[in-house]
Amino acid sequence: MKKKKITLQDIAKALNITPSAVSKALSDHPRMSQNTKDAVNKMAEELNYKPNQIAAALRSGQSKLIGVIVPAANISFFSSVIRGIEETVNKAGYSVILTQSDDSIKKEEDIINTLLATRVDGVIAALGLKTKKFGHFEKLKEENVPLVFFDRIIKDFGVSTVEVDDYKGAFDAVGHLIEQGCKRIAHLAGHSHMELYKNRLKGYKAALRDSSIPFQKELIIQSDLHLEDGRNGMLQLLELKDRPDAIFCSSDYAAVGVLQIARENNINVPKEMMIFGFSNEPFTSYLDPGISSVDQSSIIMGHTAGELMLADIKSSNTDFSERNIVLNPSLIIRKSSKIF
Amino acid sequence: MKKKKITLQDIAKALNITPSAVSKALSDHPRMSQNTKDAVNKMAEELNYKPNQIAAALRSGQSKLIGVIVPAANISFFSSVIRGIEETVNKAGYSVILTQSDDSIKKEEDIINTLLATRVDGVIAALGLKTKKFGHFEKLKEENVPLVFFDRIIKDFGVSTVEVDDYKGAFDAVGHLIEQGCKRIAHLAGHSHMELYKNRLKGYKAALRDSSIPFQKELIIQSDLHLEDGRNGMLQLLELKDRPDAIFCSSDYAAVGVLQIARENNINVPKEMMIFGFSNEPFTSYLDPGISSVDQSSIIMGHTAGELMLADIKSSNTDFSERNIVLNPSLIIRKSSKIF
DNA sequence: CTGAAAGCGCTTACAG
DNA sequence: CTGAAAGCGCTTACAG
């Protein structure tokens, strides 16, 4: 029943030449007669030959596989970055192995062991939320596996990174709210051991300082920034005797939670309270009012991460020097933060 | 600079036994003394040995890789199915190679060639929108590569499939709209060469018939069902002298478009017009009014697809018989189709 | 321009 | 319970 797979050998036999000749012909080796190449390609076609990538990988030491680690594949931002990465590396002949850490360090470690065993040619990763030790990523470096971080990166780790300028995104967003006349701007913040959340908080503070608005600790609420956290944060803020007139959220999901509570309490957005999110998830434009958000150009981030990886692989062991790319965020202003 | 990778051989030498013994010990072969196993495992740990999965794959003929083909990784429904698939197969020791067809037949064919070259142990796929010929999928069957279709499937192809009962989902959704008092229910339909859209249309018709509501062709609009198509479809419907009082959309994206046009024309949803979507994308619950939708339990679909694949791989060449699983959809009723 | 040969790192019948 | 040996299907220096 099971058809035997056609191999290089079969082509060689059929043409009465050696496997090496076939191999060279197929890979379009420069000094190989066009005649042989044509004959080999024709025969390969005829026999429906499919090169065995596994064998090639073993011999050449290149698996043409790139591991991608995200916390969860179904978070819109990550799914877009994944899309971008796959598009880019695929054009260069690489395939993507997709893995999910669920923000668990244990899983992150397991994944890296698996990827190492699979001999991927490189790893592109966004850190898990709880990842504060990096021994497993050090292992990749030790084994000389190219590594690129995106979005949730480790500072000064000696690898290429791509992130959005979170500081600037936050600074601009809060600046915009101040321009709209807001004076008491709350911030739903992420955990501060993550660079990106730290930077957004810094941008928030800097924007206030620029306008001589005093920083008030009671207006900062830290959480995981899921929708539910947004709801809870908003409820907490509503209990203050002096309510905020705007809320800058470090995540669109949290922003939706805030909007929901606002609706449930008949608080008019944007008139009584403005809302600003982060990431520009597609759904922010579907809502009414649409939620203003900081666009992170997620697909471009994916493309960039892919390109950094390809460059890294190419220069491996030669003149590699990491590049740290910071994408410029842009504000997408919608009805939640502006009276049109 | 480049550290040499530790191999089976190194462990064997260090312990003065043969590589075969090491291999068996590591794979916990039944007749191998516990002593040897312990020694081998200890030494493997010590030398920081990482088995070369590529070599194992070449020798054993099992790559432990499963190819997944989706039109686009950043469509919420697909990203959730991907998540489900990865979770399930990962537990069984398989990794996922993620690929995107962009609804292009050419890319679908290229992908299958690549996956064949990578010698994946199986392929899980959702068809591209335009895929009407299946030669490339036939190739997988010829090569005895297990194949599972999900959501966008081919009927009677002799492989396992998992889909949601689209007919029932549509039937129930339209039935619900009729219960709410709607009499002129339009349908934004997908292209009819896709089984799933055909079935939704059938369900729509059957529900009307059940309530003796005449079917009217002018109320059916066929499109790709993107957001923009929803907007256009709605505009077209508004031109009718007798406007519909409800719109059943075969996609949530189209439903958002419909809602947007309704808002822009000050049409009250649900009072003047009800809206029903399909897929229960998370954003449908973020909107105001929330859009009622047919839940497809996308993550469960992913788990199921993964399990079908694992079963298929296990029974390969023995007593394989395909299974066609139809998941039960459930209606998620929100404000867009009910006055609470 | 083409060939002979070695080897990538495993696994797996086969012996004993 | 352990060992010797072959081989998965390629690629790649090395010769000529």
pLDDT in tens, B211-261: 999 999 999 999 999 999 999 999 999 999 999 999 999 999 999 999 999
What percent of chain A stands above pLDDT 90? 73
C-alpha A136/C-alpha A153 separation (Å) is: 14
Residue B100 backbone dihedrals phi, psi, to 5 degrees: -125, 130
Question: pLDDT at position B34, please?
Answer: 83
How far off is chain B from A169, nearest CA to CA, in Å? Answer: 23
Nearest CA in chain B to A70: B83
pLDDT in tens, B280-318: 998 999 998 999 999 998 999 999 999 999 999 988 656
Task: Answer whether residue A241 shows pLDDT above 90.
Answer: yes
Find out whether B115 and B95 touch, Cβ atoms under 8 Å: no
Please tell me the predicted confidence (pLDDT) of residue B317: 58
Work out the end-to-end distance of chain A between its first and last CA atoms, rounded to an integer number of angstroms: 69
Q: How confident is the model at residue B95 (pLDDT cuts 50, 70, 90)?
A: very high
Task: Protein contacts on strand D: list nucleotides below 7 Å from a Cβ.
Answer: 1-13
List chain B residues with CB under 8 Å of A79: 73-76, 79
Residue B193 has pLDDT above 90, yes or no: no
The one-letter amino acid code at A238 reads L
Q: What is the spatial distance, in angstroms and rounded to an integer, between the CA atom of A339 and the C1' atom of D10?
A: 66
Domain with CATH 3.40.50.2300 in chain A: 62-164+298-327, 166-296+331-337
Instruction: Say whether pLDDT at A78 is over 50.
Output: yes
Distance in angstroms (rounded) separating the CA atoms of residues B42 and B44 = 5
Residues from chain A that touch B55, judged by Cβ atoms under 8 A, are 58
Q: Note whether A215 contacts B: Cβ–Cβ < 8 A.
A: no
pLDDT in the model for residue A2:
44
Q: What is the pLDDT of residue B88?
A: 97
CA A29 to mean position of chain CA atoms: 37
| Residues on chain B touching A116 (C-beta within 8 angstroms) | 50
Q: Measured between CB atoms, does A246 come within 8 Å of chain B?
A: no
pLDDT at position B292: 98
Q: Would you give the end-to-end CA distance of chain B in angstroms?
A: 69
Residue A50 has pLDDT above 70, yes or no: yes
Q: Residues of A with CB below 8 A from B230's CB?
A: none
Give A3's pLDDT tier (boundaries 50, 70, 90): low
Q: Residue A338: is its pLDDT beyond 70?
A: yes
What is the reported pLDDT for B19?
84
Mean pLDDT of A4-13: 83
Note which residues in 34-53 of chain B have CB less than 8 A from chain A: 50-53
Query: If contacts are CB pairs under 8 Å, which of residues 67-96 in chain B contact chain A?
Result: 68, 72-76, 79-80, 82-83, 86-87, 90, 95-96
Task: Find chain B residues with C-beta within 8 A of A72's C-beta.
Answer: 83
* Cα separation, A276 vs B24, whole angstroms: 59
Q: Could you tell me which residues come within 8 angstroms of residue B136 by beta carbon, excluding any fewer than 6 positions away? A: B108, B109, B112, B113
CA of B11 to C1' of D3 (A): 16
Helix residue ranges per DSSP H, chain B = 8-15, 19-26, 34-47, 53-60, 76-91, 105-117, 135-142, 166-179, 195-210, 227-238, 252-264, 283-286, 298-314
Distance CA B119, CA B57 (A): 9
Q: Which CATH number fits domain A166-296+331-337: 3.20.20.70, 3.40.50.2300, 3.30.70.920, 3.30.360.10?
A: 3.40.50.2300
**B31 pLDDT exceeds 80?**
no
The lowest-confidence range among A140-144, A173-177, A302-306, B129-133 is B129-133
| Of B321 and A122, more confident | A122
* Segment B157-179 mean pLDDT: 96
Q: What is the pLDDT of residue B237?
A: 97
Confidence tier at B2 by pLDDT (50, 70, 90): very low
Q: What is the pLDDT of residues A139-154, one digit of tens each?
A: 998 888 999 999 988 8
User: Rounded to 5 degrees, what are φ and ψ at A3?
Assistant: -70, 135
CATH code, B62-164+298-327: 3.40.50.2300
Residues A217-239, mean pLDDT to the nearest whole number: 97
Question: Worst-scoring range by mean pLDDT, A51-55, B98-102, B246-250?
Answer: A51-55
pLDDT score for B318? 62
Q: Which residue of B has its CA nearest to A49?
A: B117
Which of the two residues, A85 and B46, has the higher pLDDT score?
A85
* Six-digit token string for B81: 């199915």
Judging by DSSP bridges, how do beta strands B95-100 and A95-100 pair with one another? antiparallel
A27 touches chain B (CB under 8 A): no
Cα dihedral B231, B285, B206, B77 sign? positive
Model confidence at A11, pLDDT cuts 50, 70, 90, reads confident
Question: Are the Cβ atoms of B119 and A52 closer than 8 angstroms?
Answer: yes
What confidence score (pLDDT) does residue B93 get? 93
The pLDDT score that the predictor gives to residue A319 is: 65
Does the pLDDT value for residue A128 go beyond 90? Answer: no
Residue A65 host element (H or E):
strand A65-70
Secondary structure letter of residue B335 according to DSSP: G
The whole-number Å distance from B99's CA to C4's C1' is 40
Tokens 């003047």 map to which residue?
B272
Q: What is the CA radius of gyration of chain B?
A: 26
Mean pLDDT value across residues A186-192? 96
pLDDT the model gives residue A316: 62
Q: Gap from A63 CA to C6 C1', in Å?
A: 21
